[in-house]
Structure 1
């Protein structure tokens, strides 16, 4: 014969087990969303691609150190070394030819993540920017399309490479043996 206190104990044990089951279920559903969230990484690389395109195209070579300082925070250390070398070479050519280049007002047209995993991503960014020179009468509008490679370094997405992507030209064909 079961006593009332024995039933209470059994009910409490069952209630604790049920609560524990619910708690483990909630942890199993909620906890993964705090881990390696691909959508969060996608947002971060998209934002970094936008920052990079704008920073690279907002320059005034009369003050190259400011430009280099802003770019440094967006690049991997190895890629910054390469950028620095190219930037100094550009500065030398401009000084030799007594030309000052400026670019600003970069407008992002679109950003798309081509691929992404835990520690790398490839992103396409399309944007317009205007480049002016103290030697030219008019500002030259430019359209850019870049493929940007990112590496996750100490939890931060940094540019490890970028290259210009050509536009795709189309033409009307005759349909005969093309």
Structure 2
């Protein structure tokens, strides 16, 4: 065996090892994106987002303690304290104005996980709910889209904040400094 053939064999082995390393790196990056979620966290946060949207929109301010107890199990302790302050303020306004407010019949339209890692997730949930008041003759349907942030606390996914997000229709429009269109009153 010549020195040259020994070098060739070494080069082939190194090339094979390098190729194997690249293949393993690609598999390590690509496979997780196909949703191999062994812990089931993706399903857990979507289920929790559904529970939260329904619970938040199934209330009767004549029974605020029941409502608060249901919501408490879904929120981080810090976010529950904030919710409690807002809930009590809403209850006071309704009481001062002698208004009875109820919401129910919440129906989930869709849920999507925007991002997720070991201890946090962002989820978008779209749903419909109905609100009624003793001051209004008709129950008003409401359509919502919320972005819900979750934190994993002691192994459980809890809501750490949420915010309303607009629909595509409500966000469409001309830019503030766009040129006027014909018939829009521009020069």
Q: What's the TM-score bracket when you normalise by the shorter of the two chains?
A: 0.7 to 0.9
Runs of 5+ consecutive residues of structure 2 not aligned to the other structure: 1-35, 182-187
The residue aligned with 2:145 is 145
The residue aligned with 2:127 is 127
1:59 aligns with 2:56: no
The residue aligned with 1:17 is none
Shift of 1:37: 3.5
State the distance in 2 between where 1:80 and 1:60 align.
18
State the distance in 1 between where 2:39 and 2:145 align.
23
What is the root-mean-square deviation of aligned Cα atoms in Å?
2.0
Deviations 1:149-169 (A, max 9, x none): 000000000000000001112
1:91 aligns with 2:91: yes
Deviations 1:16-52 (A, max 9, x none): xxxxxxxxxxxxxxxxxxxx94661000000000000
State the distance in 1 between where 2:89 and 2:173 align.
39
The residue aligned with 1:154 is 154
TM-score, length of structure 1 as denominator length: 0.75
TM-score, length of structure 2 as denominator length: 0.71
Q: How many residues are matched?
A: 140
Runs of 5+ consecutive residues of structure 1 not aligned to the other structure: 1-35
